Amino acid sequence: MTDDSRERARAAARAAVTEPIPVVVVRAAAGDAGGRTPGGTGRREAESPRRRGPRSLAAARNWESAAVVVALVLTVAVGSRLVVAAGVTVGTLLAVALAPVWLSAAAKYRWAGTFLALGALCAITGPVLTTLAEPGHVVDPLLLRENYVRLAELVLGVGALLWARLHLGVRWLAFAYGTGMLIDVVQRGELSFKFGVGLAVSVIVLGWLTPGLRPGRGVWRRVPRTVQAMACVCLGVLFAADDGRSAFAMLLLAAAVVLWQVRIEERSLRRSAWVTVGAVVAAGLAAYGGAQALILDGAFGTAMAQRTAAQIELSGNLLAAGRPEMGATAALIAHRPIGFGPGVPVNGEDLAVAKHGMSQLGYDPENNYVYEYMFGRGIELHSLFGDFWAVYGPAGVLFWVFLLLLVLIALVRRTVRGMADALLVYVAILTAWNLFFSPIYASVPMLILAVVMLLPRWADAVPGAEDQEGIRDTPARP
């Protein structure tokens, strides 16, 4: 396989992943792909103007322009989380109104049906769990509604943005979504970089650095890996300056994964998959150790260094530091394996079990955090795993497992192919962290973006990718 044909196949596959449908032919980077779209899929042939009249062409352009505008508004609305009433957001209402449109668009993504089915399963089994818990628990109607609204926001938001991605592409989708997140930060008044602005700015900056087609031109917009990696490092430093230790480490890891792709060898993709997994794990350990060393050395202030040292001394490592929720989660699962259900808070016996689990980690549970935040109204175990299990039971655990596998498989697959840009890597790493260590409400915005970005389109199938001769420019699954 020649270098030119390999470059053509790579650019074609890249456009199929990141660009909207339809897209123009990438002539500068991909050459003429024989009339096929840059996705190289053969599914959507370039239609000759002779076969379509000027009126039909004008109508098609007008429809596409209108769809782009609607997709932009929808994406900003989902990201902004503006509440209309009873916790229901503008984005959720728009997603419901556009359901006939995005349900058909979801078929263009592999595993999208599984995601939607698992979300529906959580909604269906929720009432069963609530009924089973009623004899020994008091059901809170407001909490019940809140949990269903949150599930709807996640599932419907993903479905709607899958459609928006087809018309905007990854770059503009991220920019619009990040703008919506900034609106959410402003309305909540949370202007600190660590807890509010930083996440939205990271999405906008890294999204803007995603390679793609220049607007109105069939020219591929290249962004060097080094530029993306430097952006990750700069954002990480800003987080660290505001006590964002975990975000600092994750952005360092994202920079390392982005730079790793420079040395991916196309002729040994199957072997590279295992090498990449090892490299990502090694880079994660290095980022963890490096960030911890910098913090303890006082690179980001004496106060942060002293607080980190105290947490490590108490818990043995920085990951488990200050996370008593893990003890409560393990104890409650052993006490009630089927979960509790939407709208079901703990009773006195459940609370005693959770407190005992936390005390086993050397944590004193007699404080307002436990009584007010974790178990004040509902059950907040500060991890998507614990929250999904507590609210949706076994269906929630299946949902969580699917999300974890999606993150791992998509990240390795894209990295091996050299197609994992900084935003995708960061979103995948952050989502993996949230699956273990973050509550549902705070995790929903990035979880929506992660699923939308990580679910592969059918065009993202390059048969022969594991072939020893490299990536072949052959049609994908019809």
In a domain, residue 34? The reply is: no
> Can you tell me the distance from the alpha carbon of 296 to that of 312, in angstroms, rounded to the nearest whole number?
10
Q: Which residues lie below 8 Å from residue 74, measured CB to CB, with a gap of 6+?
A: 91, 94, 95, 98, 160, 161, 164
The whole-number average pLDDT for the span 39-62 is 51
pLDDT greater than 80 at residue 281: no
pLDDT in the model for residue 177: 97
Helix (H) or strand (E) holding 228: helix 225-241
Closest CA to 421 of 2, 3, 11, 18: 18
pLDDT in the model for residue 53: 56
pLDDT greater than 90 at residue 194: no
In a domain, residue 131? The reply is: yes
105 vs 467 pLDDT, higher one: 105
At residue 458's C-alpha, the angle toward residues 177 and 475, to 5°, is 135
> Can you tell me the distance from the alpha carbon of 192 to that of 244, in angstroms, rounded to the nearest whole number?
10
Tens of pLDDT, residue by residue over 311-325, are 555 555 555 555 778
In a domain, residue 148? The reply is: yes
Beta strands, E only, 88-178: 88-89
The β-bridge relationship of strands 83-85 and 88-89 is antiparallel
pLDDT in the model for residue 50: 47
Contact between 463 and 476 (Cβ < 8 Å): yes
Banded pLDDT at 217 (limits 50, 70, 90): low
Banded pLDDT at 58 (limits 50, 70, 90): low
Find the DSSP H helices in 360-416: 368, 384-416
Closest CA to 30 of 231, 203, 214, 219: 219
DSSP label of 21? S
Banded pLDDT at 470 (limits 50, 70, 90): very low
Banded pLDDT at 63 (limits 50, 70, 90): low
Closest CA to 209 of 174, 253, 240: 174
How many domains, in total, are found in the chain? 1
Cα separations in angstroms, 278 against 4, 22, 30, 273: 30, 37, 31, 9
Closest CA to 118 of 430, 401, 358, 333: 401
58 vs 110 pLDDT, higher one: 110
Tens of pLDDT, residue by residue over 418-453, are 888 999 999 999 999 999 988 898 899 999 999 999
Residues in the chain: 478
pLDDT in the model for residue 129: 94
**Which of 42-56, 81-95, 182-196, 245-259 has the weakest average pLDDT?**
42-56
The whole-number average pLDDT for the span 103-129 is 94
Say which amino acid occupies 472: R
Share of the chain above pLDDT 70, in %: 69
Contact between 343 and 308 (Cβ < 8 Å): no
**Which of 1-5, 98-102, 233-237 has the weakest average pLDDT?**
1-5
Closest CA to 429 of 242, 418, 414, 304: 414
Q: Specify which of 127-141, 264-278, 294-308 reaches the highest per-range mean pLDDT.
A: 127-141
**Mean pLDDT for the chain overall:** 79
In a domain, residue 30? The reply is: no
47 vs 83 pLDDT, higher one: 83
pLDDT in the model for residue 261: 82
3-state SS class at 172: helix
In a domain, residue 463? The reply is: no
pLDDT in the model for residue 286: 64
In a domain, residue 237? The reply is: yes
In a domain, residue 439? The reply is: yes
Domain hosting residue 79, numbered range: 44-454
Closest CA to 259 of 229, 235, 281: 229
Contact between 295 and 304 (Cβ < 8 Å): yes
pLDDT greater than 50 at residue 67: yes
**Which of 5-19, 171-185, 454-468 has the weakest average pLDDT?**
454-468
In a domain, residue 204? The reply is: yes
Helices and strands: H and E segment counts in the chain: 18, 4
> Can you tell me the distance from the alpha carbon of 37 to that of 1, in angstroms, rounded to the nearest whole number?
21
The whole-number average pLDDT for the span 403-423 is 90
- Cα end-to-end span (Å), the chain: 24
pLDDT greater than 80 at residue 35: no
319 vs 454 pLDDT, higher one: 454
